[in-house]
Amino acid sequence: MEGAGHPLRRNPGSYLAGLHPHGMPEARLQAALKAFQTDRPKWFARQAQVWFATHLNEISPAAVEHTISQCLATSPWATAKLFEAAFHEDHRAGLREITIPALVVHGTADSSAMIAVTGRRTAKLIPGAIFKEYPTAGHGLYFTHKDQLNADLLDFITA
């Protein structure tokens, strides 16, 4: 499952149709899980463009390989359970209860977790959250926008 709206990234609400305004049918999750379980290395390799927004950002093949290796080192069962939780669980009430300072960072080119339904909503749900949008950044902005991310983290923790 590549591209916009696939159900495998964190969301402030459930991805399940009926619970989330932009929800998707359960069949979408099941198709993604089948592809993931059939050939995990292929699935992660196909996600590299989505993860790093490689059409907009420079990232070395070695960095992509490193990330895929980390993903493959994770338990397949645990990863599938993470996918299911991201799809089914609704975290909105818990986000509203956060009482400590929070920084929400999101890339505008993150097509694995669309900013309008994840990052912006998350920031609005956390009282007093600081929200930073990174133009051109995908989900893997810790690589592609590391200098900006580090600066924002330092500003946040020293404020």
**How many C-beta atoms lie closer than 10 Å to residue 140's C-beta?**
23
pLDDT at 8: 37
What are the residue ranges spanned by the domains of the chain? 26-158
pLDDT block averages, 10 residues each, the chain of length 159:
37 50 74 92 90 93 94 94 85 93 96 85 95 96 96 97
The fold for domain 26-158 equals: Rossmann fold (3.40.50)
pLDDT at 145: 97
Query: Rounded to whole angstroms, how far apart are CA atoms 119 and 116?
Result: 7
Q: What is the number of residues in the chain?
A: 159
Dihedral class, residue 37 (left if φ above 0, else alpha if ψ from -120 to 50, else beta): alpha
pLDDT at 89: 82
pLDDT at 24: 67
The whole-model pTM stands at 0.79
Instruction: Reduce the DSSP state of residue 106 to 3 states and report it.
Output: strand
> Which structure tokens are listed for 24?
């998707």
